[in-house]
């Protein structure tokens, strides 16, 4: 076949060569164009639906060149921009162009655009004060915690910031402090006591405080009541209303902190203060009697301890004095014995009326003790007489 083609090419004219290559381009799978019925024609211009590749061996038709040089219409992007300009007050021509709006409508649209910009700007900036923290949530899920200062976030509602105070001390009163309220607690000795106390706490971790417990204040109240009942159950009534109140406060605080840490509440218990610890009103009289008896018991115990201390101190003093006398007795026994005899007789005979009689017979004497006694009784008798006369 190649020999035939070479022979034909050698014998044909240029016009015949064009027709020959045109026939080859019409063959199926030809590199010069598609086969019949697939977009080719006699001049390599296609069937009018989709032009195929130009045949390099065929001279272009002048009509095809004029159609190629015809100006094209606007692109889709240009048409979209033109419609946008028309929507904001610009004019347009041709089918589908923008509509000219009145001045008030254009101002309304620009005002709406400015409002949207301001809303995005103000909702994206958060100023956190000293002692505060901002918990940021992205579409309802925790994202981060912002510290004091100027902070930025996505505009609402994509990110929301909830500011929480983490420095101030908050107070929670349970049982109040008035006698009308009742908060009965059972003691170790099966007595009932009416307690009123105050819980002081602050937020340590705002993320845990906001997301781990639903009702924060009610949870802290219930934990405080549970810890107080568990602690007072280990103390007697006397200890709870008197000397062991400080121990109860510290133990309740420790119990509360342990429970809240287990709940991951993000709360720190600063102090527990018992403000009232009294008996119920129904047993006030009996309780007062018991209290009076307990106070009398304490008073008697104190008096006994004071007397015991006095006796012990006196005994210690006498023992020290005896040791000194014994040292002197070892040096001079006779003199020490005579001195002890005289001192003893002086102590024994001092409060006794004495009569001194000389040897050789009884003589008159002057009763000095009797005269001294009468002199002491005379002023009292005279005062009684004067009072009776009045």
> HEC states along the chain?
CHHHHHHHHHHCCHHHHHHHHHHHHHCCCCCCCCCCCCCCCCCCCCCCCCCCCCCCCCCCCHHHHHHHCCCCCCCHHHHHHHHHHHHCCCCCCCCCCCCCCCHHHHHHHHHHHHHHHHHHHHHCEEEECCCEEEEEEECCEEEEEECCEEEECCCCCCEEEEEEECCCCEEEEECCCCCCCCCEEECCCCCEEEEEEEEEEEECCHHHHHHCCCCHHHHHHHHHHHHHHHHHCCCCHHHHHCCCHHHHHHHHHHHHHHHHHHHCCCEEEEEEEEEEEECCHHHHHHHHHHHHHHHHHHHHHHHHHHHHHHHHHHHHHHHHHHHHHHHHHHHCHHHHHHHHHHHHHHHHHCCCCCCCCCCCCCCCCCCHHHHHHHHHHHHHHHHHHHHHHC
CB 175 within 8 A of CB 197: yes
Instruction: Report, as an integer, the average pLDDT of 261-284.
Output: 87
pTM above 0.75, yes or no: no
Instruction: Report, as an integer, the average pLDDT of 38-62.
Output: 49
Instruction: Report, as an integer, the average pLDDT of 178-189.
Output: 78
Instruction: Report, as an integer, the average pLDDT of 189-216.
Output: 90
93 band by pLDDT with thresholds 50, 70 and 90 = very low
Answer yes or no: is pLDDT of 152 > 80. yes
More confident call, 281 vs 70: 281
- Calculate the dihedral angle through the C-alpha atoms of 308, 313, 318, 319, rounding to the nearest 10 degrees: 100
More confident call, 243 vs 17: 243
CB 266 within 8 A of CB 208: yes
276 band by pLDDT with thresholds 50, 70 and 90 = confident
What's the confidence (pLDDT) of residue 44? 43
- Calculate the dihedral angle through the C-alpha atoms of 359, 365, 367, 368, rounding to the nearest 10 degrees: -90
Mean pLDDT, the chain, integer:
76
Instruction: Report, as an integer, the average pLDDT of 351-356.
Output: 70
Q: Please state whether the peptide bond connecting residue 76 to the residue before it is cis, i.e. omega within 30 degrees of 0.
A: no
CB 54 within 8 A of CB 40: no
Tens digits of residue pLDDT in 101-125: 566 677 788 888 888 888 877 778 8
- Quick one: what percent of the chain has pLDDT higher than 70? 64
More confident call, 306 vs 91: 306
11 band by pLDDT with thresholds 50, 70 and 90 = very low
| Pick from 33-37, 134-138, 363-367: least confident | 33-37
Answer yes or no: is pLDDT of 370 > 80. no
């Amino acid at each position: 076949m190649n020999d035939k083609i070479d022979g034909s090419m050698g014998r044909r004219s240029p016009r015949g060569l064009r027709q020959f290559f045109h026939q080859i381009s019409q063959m199926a799978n030809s590199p010069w164009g598609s086969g019949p019925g697939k977009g080719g024609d006699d001049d390599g211009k296609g069937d009018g639906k989709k032009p195929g590749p130009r045949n390099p061996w065929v001279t272009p038709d002048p009509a095809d060149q004029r159609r190629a040089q015809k100006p094209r219409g606007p692109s889709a992007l240009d048409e979209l921009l033109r419609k946008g300009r028309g929507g904001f007050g610009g004019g347009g021509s041709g089918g589908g162009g923008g509509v000219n709006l009145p001045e008030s409508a254009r101002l309304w649209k620009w005002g709406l655009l400015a409002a949207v910009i301001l809303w995005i700007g103000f909702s994206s900036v958060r100023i956190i004060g000293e002692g505060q923290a901002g918990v940021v949530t992205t579409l309802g899920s925790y994202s981060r915690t912002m510290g004091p200062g100027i902070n930025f976030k996505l505009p609402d509602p994509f990110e929301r910031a909830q500011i929480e105070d983490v420095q101030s001390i908050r107070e929670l009163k349970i049982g109040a402090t008035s006698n009308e309220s009742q908060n009965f607690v059972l003691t170790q000795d099966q007595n009932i006591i009416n307690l009123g106390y105050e819980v002081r706490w602050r937020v340590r971790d705002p993320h845990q405080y906001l997301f781990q417990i639903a009702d924060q204040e009610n949870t802290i109240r219930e934990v405080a009541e549970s810890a107080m009942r568990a602690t007072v159950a280990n103390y007697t009534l006397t200890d709870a209303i008197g000397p062991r109140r400080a121990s109860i406060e510290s133990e309740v605080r420790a119990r509360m902190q342990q429970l809240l840490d287990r709940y991951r509440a993000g709360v720190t218990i600063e102090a527990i203060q018992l403000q009232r610890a009294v008996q119920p009103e129904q047993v006030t009289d009996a309780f007062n009697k018991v209290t009076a008896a307990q106070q009398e018991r304490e008073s008697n115990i104190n008096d006994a301890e004071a007397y015991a201390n006095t006796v012990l101190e006196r005994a210690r003093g006498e023992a020290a004095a005896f040791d000194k006398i014994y040292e002197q007795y070892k040096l001079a026994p006779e003199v020490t014995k005579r001195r002890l005899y005289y001192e003893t007789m002086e102590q024994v005979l001092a409060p006794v009326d004495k009569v001194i009689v000389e040897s050789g017979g009884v003589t008159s004497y002057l009763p000095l003790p009797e005269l001294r006694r009468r002199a002491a009784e005379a002023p009292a008798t005279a005062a009684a007489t004067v009072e009776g006369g009045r």
